[in-house]
Amino acid sequence: MSEVMTPRETVEALDKYIVGQDEAKRAVAIALRNRYRRSRLPQELRDEITPKNIIMMGPTGVGKTEIARRLAKLVDAPFVKVEATKFTEVGYVGRDVDSMVRDLVEAAIRICKEQKMNAVRTVAEANAEQRLIDILVPMHKDKWHAPENPLQFLLGGGTSKEPELTEDEKRERLTKREEVTRELRAGRLEDEIVEVQIEMPNNGSNAMIAMGIDVNLNEMMGGILPPKKKTRRVKVSEARKLLVQDESEKLIDMDEITQEAIERAEQDGIIFIDEIDKIAASGNTSGADVSREGVQRDILPIVEGSTVTTKYGPVKTDFILFIAAGAFHVSKVSDLIPELQGRFPIRVKLEALTVDDYKRILTQPQHAITKQYEALLKTDNILLSFTDDALGAIAKYAFTANEREENIGARRLHTIVENLLDDISFNAGGDHPLTKVEVDEKYVKEHVSREYEGEDLQRFIL
């Protein structure tokens, strides 16, 4: 890790997206900084220090998943979220519990590949531009004739070229190419239709992937299969994207990316195990609880530290940070098997949201709900704004609905605001002049309160 934020800076960054839950933010910020501290230690001591995994306890919709997801984004760490309950499903078919590690490696591959492709983008764009010019103004034309027999094809037969261009023709084409280059760079050829040929990867068949056999046949056969090529007729604007992608693929070294991705998955990876309370036995050892305990025992070796075989090579899980989460309404953390409890030494409780929290969630985060709707409606000439008392009323209704019915936390706000703005969103068509619309407390009460006067809250239940 090169530049890592201090715990205080991490909490400040998380505050931009998540309201409250200071205890949980402090815990993950310290865990993140400890990784950096560990990376600066001598090798023999570094191998002895493992991450202090975290269990988050709190009702749904209070920010457990968002804290872990934002933490991973802050440092570009590979991140995977899994539901612990999916391993208890009757007739569950597919890869086993190890799949969470395989998915983490895939996430690391995507991150590393994207970074490498961004690094070579300038060269790839220049190469793509040359290919576009070659398509629009070729310097020569190849004519292809079907070979008379397969042996002739294997020996390279079947292609003949037109006679070489004369010097005058070459000069004329060079002049034309310069003119096309200027037109391309000026963006005047974006809607022209061109024919591009793109190499397609030789991946495993869909049937094999469905059976859990995730292999690349071309790699197994030593790359003897010729690359599949696909010809597409597209606009220049689309062709440029395809060619830049194709050229970027040629410039990067996948072996180097794979090696780096495995290293990042092992050292920086974060696996978020949600609904872990659902696999905790509640004092009874019969029926479904047996399978729940079985899932815990399957998860245990991965959290303890083991080596998982993936198609990219073996991956050690010793230094992956595991963050588990659950509501723990019925079961308790102590209902997990002792061995698994011991692997999650840090436990933080996330509090249920208050009316004040809901009000802050509506406006404080960087991408708050109200800011999203204001931006959406602005595209249709509506300048939307909310008064302070309107925000207070929305927050109060969200709190009341969560108290009366199932507590789904901040997700309730999306339902209420969507229904509140239903008429405005429907009538905004963009064919009218710029219009200011202010949502005040009276408007909120007119459009929302009638659902709360009776017991029928179904419109606001997700």
Question: To 10 degrees, what angle do helices 411-420 and 388-404 make?
Answer: 120
Nearest Cα residue to 258 out of 307, 219, 312, 220 = 312
The strand ranges marked E within 191-247 are 193-200, 228-235
For 121-130, the pLDDT digits (tens) are: 999 989 888 8
Number of H helices, E strands in the chain: 21, 13
Is the pLDDT assigned to residue 106 strictly greater than 90? yes
pLDDT at 109 over 90: yes
Collapsing DSSP states into helix, strand and coil, what is residue 364? coil
Please report the pLDDT score of residue 212 as a whole number. 47
Which residues touch 376 (CB under 8 Å, ≥6 apart)? 425
CA distance 405 to 461: 8
Would you say the pTM of this structure is higher than 0.95? no
pLDDT digits (tens, 9 = 90+) for 79-99: 999 888 877 765 454 457 888
Pairwise CA distance, residues 449 & 420, whole Å: 10
Is the distance from CB of 359 to CB of 304 less than 8 angstroms? no
* SS3 label, residue 230: strand
Q: Which of 324, 351, 323 is nearest to 336 (CA)?
A: 324
Please choose, from the candidates 440, 427, 335, 322, the residue with its C-alpha nearest in 3D space to the C-alpha of residue 382.
427
Please report the pLDDT score of residue 74 as a whole number: 87
**Which tens digit of pLDDT belongs to each residue from 365-410?**
888 889 999 999 999 888 999 999 999 999 998 888 888 877 888 8
pLDDT at 143: 47
Residue with tokens 């959406």: 376
8 A C-beta contact, residue 448 and residue 420? yes
Q: Which DSSP letter does residue 188 get? A: -
Q: Higher pLDDT residue, 451 or 354?
A: 354
Enter the tokens of residue 197: 């040929």
So what's the pLDDT on residue 296? 86
Instruction: For the chain, give the percent of residues with pLDDT over 70.
Output: 80
Looking at the DSSP bridge assignments, the partners of residue 231 are 197
Per-residue model confidence as pLDDT tens digits over 240-255 = 888 888 888 888 898 9
Burial of 316 (0-12, 13-18, 19+ CB in 10 A): middle
For residues 210 and 137, the model is more confident at 137
Q: Which pLDDT value is given to residue 132? A: 86
Q: Report the alpha-carbon angle 396-399-400, nearest 5.
A: 85
